[in-house]
Amino acid sequence: MPDPTRFAGQTVIVTGAARGIGEGIATRFAADGAKVLLVDLIPEVEETAARLGQKAFTCDVTARGAGEAIAKAALAAFGRIDVLVNNAGIGGSKKLLDSDDDLIERIIDTDLSAVLRVTRAVVPHLPQPGGRIVNISSTFGLTGYPGTTAYAVAKAGIAQFTRQLSGELGPSGIRVNAVAPGVIQTPMTMAHRENPFYMRVVVDPIPLERMGEPADIAGPVAFLASEDAAFVTGVVLPVDGGYLAARHGKL
């Protein structure tokens, strides 16, 4: 449950925060007492931030210098940065042989390369010790699913980036973890949820017998950013209703 004192006095950057999982994460941090900078490419981020009583910054995370601009905006708004949540990402992936150069480049740049660049720019401003980074990977980055090649590779890269960076930044007291969502009901997954094959192969075998909601991801992200996880770093936590652990057909 939200605790308005949990992140009191702390500031959080959430990318891709206008809607979907990012909106859910920003909502949870705000409810837990944090000051939040919501970052997104779409103007809707202003409305989401205003509804939460927080700050917005409209920015394309793939643009060169975006990380520096995001850090500058957060420092101007709050004077400090305690937590970075790398959530911004896109879907639309296809089978490799159906993927042209533009599609591969767009997905890898948005879902992986931009995360590295934004993180590189923000890390110098995190408290050392005490800074926290939470990345958003995917169950598709931890297991195979046909037709999502570039996306799956990018999200697998996020999982490895999390492990790699936890080793690099651990000595300075910065913790780095990730959440790997399963099927979450967001605008980005709507087209998949209209695909009978996807529903049969990915949704029906979920042991908890439901799809997730953005709030189901926001809670674990808040946990990993909290003092309750003070000795947790380098973890990629699946939040998928049990899909990776024990997916099964209906009996």
Please work out, in degrees rounded to the nearest 5, the angle formed at the alpha carbon of residue 41 by the alpha carbons of 63 and 112: 55
Among 113, 127, 46, CA closest to 84:
127
pLDDT higher than threshold 70 for residue 251 = no
CB-count exposure of residue 65 (10 Å: 0-12, 13-18, 19+): exposed
Q: What confidence score (pLDDT) does residue 135 get? A: 99
Residues 16-75 pLDDT 10s: 999 999 999 999 999 999 999 999 999 999 999 999 999 999 999 999 999 999 999 999
| Helical residues (DSSP H) of the chain, grouped into ranges | 20-31, 44-52, 66-78, 101-108, 114-122, 149-169, 190-193, 196-198, 214-225, 243-246
pLDDT (average), residues 210-225: 97
Of 139, 88, 137, 148, the residue nearest 117 (C-alpha): 88
Which pair of structure tokens corresponds to residue 20? 């979907």
3-state SS, residue 221: helix
**How far is the C-alpha of 202 from the C-alpha of 243, rounded, in Å?**
8
CA quadruple 143, 179, 87, 24: dihedral sign? positive
What digits encode the pLDDT tens for the residues 99-155?
Answer: 999 999 999 999 999 999 999 999 999 999 999 999 999 999 999 888 899 999 999
Are the C-beta atoms of 180 and 240 separated by less than 8 Å? yes
Domains and CATH numbers, the chain: 11-242 (3.40.50.720)
How do residues 167-209 score in pLDDT, each as one tens digit?
999 999 999 999 999 999 988 777 777 788 878 888 899 999 9
Amino acid code (one letter) for 129: P
Q: Residue 53's pLDDT is what?
A: 98
Q: Which residue has the tokens 């695909």?
A: 195
**Token pair in block for residue 222:** 């808040």
pLDDT reading at 9 higher than 70: yes
Amino acid letter, residue 161: F
* Confidence check: pLDDT of 214 > 70: yes
Burial of 57 (0-12, 13-18, 19+ CB in 10 A): buried
**In the structure encoding, which two tokens stand for residue 234, read together?**
């380098």
Query: Which residues are designated catalytic?
Result: 151
User: 11 and 34 in contact (C-beta within 8 Å)?
Assistant: yes
